[in-house]
Amino acid sequence: MANILIVDDEIGIRELLSEILGDEGHDVILAENAAAARAVRNARRPDLVLLDIWMPDTDGITLLKEWLANGQLTMPVVMMSGHGTIDTAVEATRIGAIDYLEKPIALQKLLSAVKRGLQRPAAPGQPAALTLAAFARSAALSELRRRLQQIAEKSRVLTLRTGAGSLAELAARSVLPDGAPWMDLGVITMPLEVKQLQNCQGGVLFVAELGRLNRAQQKNLCFVLERLDRFNLHLVTATDQSAEALIAEGWEEPTVNRLFEVCLAPPSLADVQDDLPELAVQLLLHLVEAGEVPRRRLSTAAQNALRTRSWPGGFAELRAAVKSLALGTLEDEIGVADVRRVLPAPVDHVHSVSLDQPLREAREAFERLYFEHYLRMEGNNMTRIAERCGLERTHLYRKLKQLGLQVSRKNDEH
C-alpha cells in the first residue's frame, strides 16, 4: 500500500488518523510540526501527505509554498483545518493541494480524499527552477524577493547591479510566479524573431552580463525592449558596469538609459553568509528532486565549512560545489572531510611569499598575490578592484600586465 505522512500538532488527531489509515493497510509516518515534516520529506518521498494548516512553528500553507518552491511538491497533499476559511482552502488549492478537509474529519471524507490522492498520476520528475521563494527563512533573501515583486508590478525592465558572488539569476527567476517562460538572451547569437517572443509570452527574458553582449546581441536587446508590453514580458539584466562605461564602449545611449531606468543592487553571497547553510541545503534538495544527484544530506559541520568559504562565482559556483559534493561522496551524509577532499582548499597567500629573496623579487611576489586575491574576490571586475586598491584603471591594467597576470578583458570588449 501507500506511505502516508500525517502532519498535525495535536497528538490525538495524529493517532486517530494513523489508526484509521493503518487499518486500511497503509504505512503511516507521523510528524508533530513543520520541522519534523521537513525532515521526513527530505529523507524520503511519501506517496501522500495530510497536512494541518495551523501549527505552532510554521503553518501548513507556508510549508506547502516551501515545498513548491524547492521542487519537493511531487506528492499529493490534502490540507486539514478545524477553523479554516474558504479563502484558505482556495489558496491551498492554488498552491498545489489536491483537497481540503475540515475538522472533525468524517471517516468517509478522509478515505475518499486519500483514495483520490493516491489515484492521481505522479507529478513530473523535473521540478521548477529554483527561486528565492525556496529561502523563506532568510530575512535578506525574503526582503529581496519582495523588492523584486514590487518592482515587477510597475516596471517591465530591471537592471541588477552586481559584482562578485552574484545572485543575479536566482533573483531574475523570482520576478514572476512559478511556471513563467524563461529565455536567456545571453546565449542567443542569431537575430531574434517575433515568434520567439510569442512563445515566451508572459515570461522573463534574462541577460547575465550586459558587458558580454556583442553588437548583434545588443540589437536583439533593442528588439526586445520595443515589444515588452505587446507580449507581456519582463526583462531582467545584470552588470557590474556603469551606464557611462557601457556608452563609452559603444552602446546606444537611449538603450542604456532605458535599461538603467530602474536598478537594484541585490546582496551577494558574502552579504548573506549566515544564510549559506540554508542555501546549500535547499540547493541539495533541489538537485536530489531533479534526479541530478543521489539522495544526500549535509552535516552541520559541512554546512559550516561551506559558510566560511568565499564564493566569488556566486550562486552558480555554490550550486556546482554542492553538486560535486553530492556526486563525489559515497555516504548518505556529506561531512566536513568530504568538503575538504572534493573542494579546493583556500590558500593562505600571505605565508606563500618566501622571505629568502631580494627585496625587489619579494615585493613583486607579494603584489602578484595581492592582485590575485582581489581578482578572485571581485570576479575580475576591474572597476571594483581599482577602487579597492586605490588605483586608476589604466594603471591597474599596466600593473597586472607587468606581473604577468592574465585578465579577461570582457569590460573592454565592444
**Per-residue pLDDT, 400:** 86
Name the stretches of the chain with pLDDT < 70.
Answer: 84, 122-128, 164, 177-179, 345-353, 376-379, 406-414
**CATH 2.60.40.2310, domain 3-119, yes or no:** no
Please tell me the distance from the alpha carbon of residue 375 to that of residue 381, in angstroms, as a whole number. 7
Cβ-based neighbours of 398, under 8 Å, separated by 6 or more: none
Any idea which fold 273-342 has? Helicase, Ruva Protein; domain 3 (1.10.8)
Please tell me the distance from the alpha carbon of residue 264 to that of residue 166, in angstroms, as a whole number. 12
Coil, strand or helix: which one is 77? strand
DSSP state string for 33-101: SHHHHHHHHHH---SEEEEES--SSS-HHHHHHHHHHTT---S-EEEEESS--HHHHHHHHHHT-SEEE
Please tell me the distance from the alpha carbon of residue 69 to that of residue 119, in angstroms, as a whole number. 24
Q: Is the CB of residue 176 less than 8 Å from the CB of residue 152?
A: yes
* Domain locations along the chain: 3-119, 132-264, 273-342, 350-412
Cβ-based neighbours of 91, under 8 Å, separated by 6 or more: 61
**Per-residue pLDDT, 220:** 95
Note the pTM of the prediction, 2 decimals.
0.66
Q: Which three cell numbers stand for residue 56?
A: 505552532
Q: Is the CB of residue 103 less than 8 Å from the CB of residue 124?
A: no
- Say which residue the cell 527552477 belongs to: 129
Q: Is the CB of residue 193 less than 8 Å from the CB of residue 199?
A: no
Please tell me the distance from the alpha carbon of residue 38 to that of residue 28, in angstroms, as a whole number. 16
Rounded to 5 degrees, φ, ψ at 45 are: -120, 95
Local structure of residue 70 (DSSP, 8 states): T
Q: How many helices (H) and strands (E) does the chain have?
A: 18, 12
Among 105, 133, 94, CA closest to 18? 105
Cβ count within 10 A of residue 89: 18
**Per-residue pLDDT, 129:** 77
Tell me if 273-342 shares its fold with 350-412.
Answer: no
Any idea which fold 350-412 has? Arc Repressor Mutant, subunit A (1.10.10)
Class of domain 132-264: alpha beta
